[in-house]
Amino acid sequence: MKHLVRCFECGREVSDPFVDSCPHCSGKLTIELDLNEVKERSPKELRSRPFGVWRYAPFLPVDASKAVTLKEGGTPLYKCSSLAEKSAIKEVFVKFEGANPTGSFKDRGMTVGVSRAVELGCKVVGCASTGNTSASLAAYAAKARLDSVVLLPSGKVAMGKLAQAMFYGAKVVMVDGNFDDALRVVREMGNAGQLYILNSINPYRPEGQKTVAFEIMDQLEFEVPDRIILPVGNAANIWAVYKAFTEWRELGWIDKIPKLTGIQAAGSAPIVRAFRSGQDDFVPEDHPETIATAIRIGNPASGRKALRAIKDTDGTAIDVTDEEILKAQRMLGRMEGIGVEPASAASIAGLVKLRQMGEIDWDERVVCICTGHVLKDPDTVIKSCEAIIQAKADMESVRKAIGR
């Protein structure tokens, strides 16, 4: 699809495909699509392609016929009646992004990002990651036969994610520091021409991530929900969802945008603080802490974009404690049979809390995006569940052990 890259801050067009920010003002980049090709069409017409990221090819800035794909997207949208009843809200849906090829929504952006890397003739791709981006990058790089390098914050990466990055053959480097330190280093490497950076500051990544919004619309028969709740870490995903809806609105395919509602962990909530004080910019958190490692980010690269998305849609942002996150994670598993990692459960914890605060009305139709699979972080799950029962190998002992 025809497009150009623009600076989010100063609006200048950026022509060098290898810079990760504006050469004039250092602003973050964004993509402007030429939507003329789809102007006369309707969203229903897109249904002639298989359900998934590439159904939305007219909204993606790469050549779909050469896509590096593992058939990402096309994830289920579950109607959650028990959760709705429990939280006293009319309709609650969960968009389960754990059903992607590597178990998180990062695959949506990575299929587009790695396709772009191939278009540009890159041989080495890299990222900093709290885990899921590295798992995704490693898999798509393998598919495209590219080398991949991933920088992880030392000791704070969930086991499933680490295993994936290693398994798909990335060069895995643990750096002494947190995610923000790892991102700083990988950007330096990108600027030095050592690798093509595929963090979400690469504007091609959010383009792929837009498709989660398109799919939700498709699954709701093109009726715009009242609210979409999602966890916010580096803040690219909430921006991507916003961008998706603005494009459809520009085409006249919809006439409103859901209230975009961002949830952060209490120990790592710069966007929430900025939103509360009405600022367009945020103050980074130097020592982010939370059990939800995927959103343990103090200096969100797309933070300013996220604040615009939230404000512009009359949305909101709140933080939730680790305890609330773990409680919500278990509740979703035991009430709906949906297994998500802690960061994803932040959206559920946020749903419950915002309803209690009266911010969400009872008659809303709400979609929570649950970003990653429960198997990503088995250690946290095992620690937060009841202990395993030991018993001798006979029925009497087992009956006694389970209290029957």
Ligand X SMILES: *Cc1c(COP(=O)(O)O)cnc(C)c1O
Reading the block at residue 155, the tokens are: 């000791």
Q: Which is nearer to ligand X, 126 or 372 (CB)?
A: 372
Q: Which residues pair with 231 in a beta bridge?
A: 263
| Contacted by 294, from Zn ion, ligand X, none: CB < 5 to 8 Å by type | ligand X
| Contacted by 22, from Zn ion, ligand X, none: CB < 5 to 8 Å by type | Zn ion
| Contacted by 274, from ligand X, Zn ion, none: CB < 5 to 8 Å by type | none
**Can you point out the beta strands (E) in 64-133?**
77-79, 91-96, 124-128
Q: Which is nearer to ligand X, 27 or 131 (CB)?
A: 131
- In angstroms, give the least distance from the CB of 104 to ligand X: 5
Q: Which is nearer to Zn ion, 31 or 173 (CB)?
A: 31
- In angstroms, give the least distance from the CB of 28 to ligand X: 13
Reading the block at residue 143, the tokens are: 């598919």
- In angstroms, give the least distance from the CB of 397 to ligand X: 40
* Interatomic CA distance for residues 30 and 4, integer angstroms: 9
- In angstroms, give the least distance from the CB of 48 to ligand X: 30
- In angstroms, give the least distance from the CB of 106 to ligand X: 6
Residue 201's closest CA among 271, 299, 319?
299
- In angstroms, give the least distance from the CB of 333 to ligand X: 15
Q: Which is nearer to ligand X, 235 or 360 (CB)?
A: 235
Task: Map residue 347 onto helix, strand or coil.
Answer: helix
Q: Which is nearer to Zn ion, 30 or 344 (CB)?
A: 30
Q: Which residue is nearest to ligand X (CB)?
A: 372
* Interatomic CA distance for residues 65 and 303, integer angstroms: 33
| Contacted by 344, from ligand X, Zn ion, none: CB < 5 to 8 Å by type | ligand X
Find the DSSP H helices in 120-235. 132-144, 159-167, 179-191, 204-209, 211-219
- In angstroms, give the least distance from the CB of 256 to ligand X: 23
List contacts with Zn ion (CB under 5 A): 7, 9-10, 22, 24-25, 27
Question: Which own/partner pairs from 22-29 qualify as long-range (CB within 8 Å, at least 24 positions apart)?
Answer: 28/201, 28/203, 28/301, 28/302, 28/304, 28/305, 29/5, 29/201, 29/203
* Interatomic CA distance for residues 340 and 327, integer angstroms: 12
Check: CB of residue 397 under 8 Å from CB of residue 391.
yes
| Contacted by 377, from ligand X, Zn ion, none: CB < 5 to 8 Å by type | none
Helix axis angle for 106-119 and 132-144, nearest 10°, is 40
List contacts with ligand X (CB under 6 A): 104, 106, 132, 200, 231-237, 294-295, 341, 343-344, 371-372
| Contacted by 7, from Zn ion, ligand X, none: CB < 5 to 8 Å by type | Zn ion
Q: Which is nearer to ligand X, 204 or 253 (CB)?
A: 204
